[in-house]
Amino acid sequence: MTSTASEDPISALRTEAVEQLSAADSADALESWRVEFLGRKGKLTGILRNLGSLKPDQRRAAGAAANRLKGELEAAFEEKLTASKRSGASQPADAIDVTLPGRRPRAGGLHPSTQIMREMLDAFNEMGFQTVEGNEVELERYNFDMLNIPADHPARDMQDTIWIDRDRDSADGGILLRTQTSPMQPRIMEQQDPPVRIVSPGKCFRFEATDATHEWQFHQIEGLAVDEGLSFADLKGTLYEFARRIFGADRKVRFRCDFFPFVEPGVDMSIDWDGRWVEILGAGMVHPRVLSNVGYDPEKYTGFAFGVGPERVALLKYGIEDIRHFFSNDLRFLSQF
Ligand code: DAH
């Protein structure tokens, strides 16, 4: 009898503790449960303390049973606590005030350079030019040599270069940050046979001082068309149409002779801005040497190319007075677009 009497309180306590634990439905209730059953002055401690009054043979069995119960209750408590934290039951029901009026989240937007580039690319895409992207880190060979700008050519001085590795011992020359998107011309031509009709947008870099119309990083969109029978009329028609699309149908456009080593003849195109001519791009008929550099037959194929600066276009189109705004990350400027 005595032995069952000493176990009974333990199984009774187990039943009581398990029932109450499953009823505990808040962080407060869980804590009260812990204090009541597992606390220093709790019911289980009470039983353990009473063990001393039992006979030694009963004491061992009862002690083992009480300790087993302690382990069970502790484990059940931990499990319930974790589950209630996970389900958020430990948060007061009113932690989220659903009556608060909504606030409009601040909407992000596309950078003005991206916006103008997309508009420009749309114009060319609709004329049949496919967009391809190139790499900003470029080989000297593609940035200069393949474009008919040999190492001793003064045109290299016009494009002060940021070098990654200048003195590399390689047939491709050094590694640099491209100074122009024009290296996409030979890269694309090496990959495919004519006809070619591509535009290639991207960032360019030059090692130079900045001012209101010069940045050390800027974008360009390169254009290239190569086919049998392309003439200067195709170049002009394409660029006229582009200018009309971006600046409106009445905008006057002017071509002047200009020099770029990879075209012959070369031109620049300006648009009329309140009686002032502002240059927005360089262009020309692809130089026969550039064609033969990539294995195209210059007797059979002709082509035209152009390179246009989106930031320059945006300056005019939106009346921005300083090109440095584009990359200064000032929200007062950026949020106007
Ligand atoms: N890459 C030239 C520059 O950065 C711009 C340019 C001129 C590109 C004439 C062309 C071109 O494709 O035909 O100054």
In a domain, 106, yes or no: no
Dist. CA 334–CA 112, nearest whole Å:
7
Cβ–ligand 1 contact at 182 (below 6 Å): yes
Q: Which of 68, 97, 126 marks a domain boundary?
A: 97
Q: Which residue matches tokens 């040999």? A: 150
The one-digit pLDDT tens for each residue of the chain (337 residues) are: 444 444 578 889 999 999 999 888 888 889 999 999 989 888 888 888 888 888 888 888 888 888 999 999 999 999 988 888 777 655 666 677 778 888 888 888 999 999 999 999 999 999 999 999 999 999 999 999 999 998 888 777 667 899 999 989 999 999 999 999 999 999 999 999 999 999 999 999 999 888 888 889 999 999 999 999 999 999 999 999 999 999 998 889 999 999 999 999 999 999 988 888 989 999 999 999 999 999 999 999 999 999 999 999 998 888 898 999 999 999 999 988 8
73 and 138 assigned to the same domain = no
Does ligand 1 lie within 6 Å of residue 30's CB atom? no
Instruction: Look up the domain containing 81 and give its range.
Output: 9-97
Angstrom distance (rounded) from CA 246 to CA 291:
30
* Angle at alpha carbon of residue 132, lines to 127 and 136, rounded to 5°: 135
CATH of the domain at 323: 3.30.930.10
Q: Is the minimum distance from the CB of 306 to ligand 1 under 6 angstroms?
A: yes
CA-based max dimension of the chain = 117
Same-domain pairing of 90 and 123: no
305 CA to centre of ligand 1 in angstroms = 8
181 domain-assigned: yes
Instruction: Verify that 185 and 289 share a domain, yes or no.
Output: yes
Provide the domain count of the chain. Answer: 2
* CB 283 near ligand 1, within 6 Å: yes
Indicate whether 117 and 93 sit together in one domain.
Answer: no
Q: Are residues 202 and 277 in the same domain?
A: yes
Ligand 1 pocket, 222 CB below 6 A? Answer: yes
Residues 226 and 250 in one domain: yes
Pocket perturbation via mutation, ligand 1, pick of 157, 180, 287 by most ligand atoms within 8 A of CB? 180
And the tokens for 242? 């582009």
| pTM attached to this predicted model | 0.70
Nearest 5°: phi and psi at 134?
A: -115, -170
Name the pairing type of β-strands 217-227 and 302-308. antiparallel
Beta-carbon contacts of 229 under 8 Å, excluding residues fewer than 6 positions away, are 302
3-class DSSP state of 303: strand
Cβ(144) – ligand 1 distance below 6 Å: no
